Amino acid sequence: MILTSFAYGQWVAGSGTPAVLRHAVTGEPIFHADSTGIDFRQMLEYGRRAGSARIRSSTFHQRALMLKELAKHLTSVKEELYRLSYCTGATKADAWFDIDGGIGTLFAYASKGRKELPNQSVYIDGATEALSKGGTFVGRHICVPLEGVAVHINAFNFPVWGMLEKFAPAFLAGMPCIIKPATSTSYVAQRAVQEIIASGILPEGSLQIICGSTGDLLDHLTLQDVVTFTGSHATGTKLRRHPRIMDESVRFTMEADSLNCCVLGEDAVPGTEEFDLFVKEVARELTTKAGQRCTAIRRIIVPERVVGDVITAVSKRLTNVPVGDPALEDVRMGPLVGREQKEEVAGRVAELRRSCETAFEYANEFRRGDAAMTDDAFFRPTLLHCAAPGSVTEPHQVEAFGPVSTVMGYRSMDDAIDLVRRGRGSLVGSFFSNNDAACRTFALGIAPYHGRIMMVNRTSAKESTGHGSPMPQMVHGGPGRAGGGEELGGIRSVMHYMQRTALQGSPTTLGAVYGEYTVGGATHTDGVHPFRKYFEDLTIGDSILTGTRTITLEDVERFAELSGDHFYAHMDDDLARRSIFEKRVAHGYFVLSAAAGLFVEPGFVPVMANYGLEGLRFITPVYPGDTIQVRLTVKSTRPKEGEAQGVVEWDVVVNNQHAQPVAVYTLLTLVARR
């Protein structure tokens, strides 16, 4: 079967000699891939023309809802993706990491997009900066989506997750994507894209896929495009130096295979829970996806006195792992993705053996199913031991991208940190210890060299997601050899696809640009209390100035009795003067309550609920005898997609009789639509 690419709105077959894609278990040809003849310039132009404008016309919340619908749709068809994943050598558990992990990432970004981004197409980054004494010239940063295409070049090991974990933040930011999966497993990614396109959920031009070579694609990039790469450090470095990427300053992020480590704390001796957890994690990481993970544990670093105990314990676990046909329910590790990968891993192991000895090699027979099965792509789980890790280079420079890891001993915590840092930058390092002081020393010692650090003890182990599992909420990437990039990390990764721009001007002008009232900007009133207006009738800058209220000593004492807050500064003049106040001071929360009493409309109005305050600051003390007044202004209006209400943010300033602000905050309310 010939795999087609989805380019410029249609499925396109290549016109050259296709690459043969083989079943990882049987070695049989199952697909052919070729992208010869595809106009890659046209793909980029189509994405910019058809996709970019359509996506950017929607809001962050609308895009987030599309991601949610997409996740639900892929969930309904994931069984077919599971069947294809088996052809790559993946067990059911491996496929779960890839397919369900990718779908889960879509759900995560759908949720974060609605919770952490505004329901508009411009993101306001940070607070207003005062640039002048009188406040008529201010500055603020905004982020807007780049107007090009995000080109995602992915590795073979996670054809679904690798695609979706990059697509989700890029699409949420407002960019269309071109997916280039690794050819060897492109049939899984292509099937997922077929379902995405057929669902009709995404705007036209949002997603294209290349099954085969990228040809001259990179030659047509512009400064508005983005390239992301996952794979080997050598290939990523070559791409990063592409003349077009350098000349156009194209944003390029790389997540490369690295020599990740798992370190056993000095307190975690045999017999402790941490020792057993460590052994379990190492064995699992060696055999999940047959060790073909960019986050897999390549270096097992333990106190010198327990090297033998660790090798014995890990070897015992590996011996009990059923290896064979991944279609069998009891099999926990399948083959590598293909014979070429097996030869590559064997070559790297030969290099490692220059300074290491074999401590364990899996000797059991492979489990066989009904299908014809060869041993061609299977690689036996292997443990190496390096007796002098501080004086050799291979374990810290050579990566065997399979079920292979090297055990090495350390003499002290400083020695362990030094060994970890010799990997020259990693995606993840993990530390198993029940000593929090040791965890602090270790984490701060290796943090400059790592994108993620996982610390495990008996308390966190039950819910820990594991050494090799990047989570959408946390950064995935690392410095140095690991590529120097960041993927995931929640909304941080969304910002990678946006341009941050500094705006300068009057508060009114800036507010008009990004759709939010800015302190010092123009306000207006039509005589109708804003609380009496439906969501659609409110405009940015709608404002009222309330009546006044004088705070009395009786108010303070009654609030103390009602709330139970008898803090000395509210109840005793002498003690208050010994602090920072002139005399007894009103409770800050009473001032807020009294302010609400001034601006809240008591009748049945479109305002449905108050659900929070943000940025609250008490600026000037309020003493009995002071008089307060409130300025309430519509700061922003954010419709809630598919719901009968919207969110209104109100800028609230409480002043005293001297026109001094005593409290400032943003009030959030739900307001009904008509």
Judge whether 294 counts as a catalytic residue.
yes
Q: Alpha-carbon distance 179 to 160, whole Å?
A: 11
Closest CA to 621 of 592, 584, 661, 662: 662
Query: Which residue reads 């590790």 in tokens?
Result: 333
What is the SS3 assignment for 34?
coil
- Helices 60-76 and 101-116, packing angle to 10 deg: 160
Q: Alpha-carbon distance 545 to 571, whole Å?
A: 31
**Torsion sign, CA atoms 575, 578, 583, 589:** negative
Q: CB burial class (10 A; 0-12, 13-18, 19+) of residue 633?
A: buried
- Long-range contacts (CB closer than 8 Å, 24 or more residues apart) made by 522-529: 523/633, 529/601
Q: Alpha-carbon distance 109 to 489, whole Å?
A: 10
Out of 143, 177, 294, 356, the active site residue is 294
Dmax over CA atoms of the chain, in Å, equals: 91
Q: Alpha-carbon distance 176 to 178, whole Å?
A: 7
Nearby residues of 253 by Cβ (< 8 Å), 6 or more positions away? 226, 227, 228, 229, 477, 483, 484, 485, 486, 487, 496
Q: What is the amino acid identity at position 399?
A: E
- The gap from C-alpha 221 to its chain's centroid, in whole angstroms, comes to 25
Give the pair of three-digit tokens for residue 560: 């103390």
DSSP per-residue string spanning 41-63:
HHHHHHIIIIIIHHHHTS-HHHH
Strands 404-410 and 382-386: parallel
Q: CB burial class (10 A; 0-12, 13-18, 19+) of residue 640?
A: middle
Closest CA to 186 of 381, 333, 30: 30
Out of 255, 285, 399, 649, the active site residue is 255
Judge whether 255 counts as a catalytic residue.
yes
Catalytic residue numbers, as ranges: 255, 294
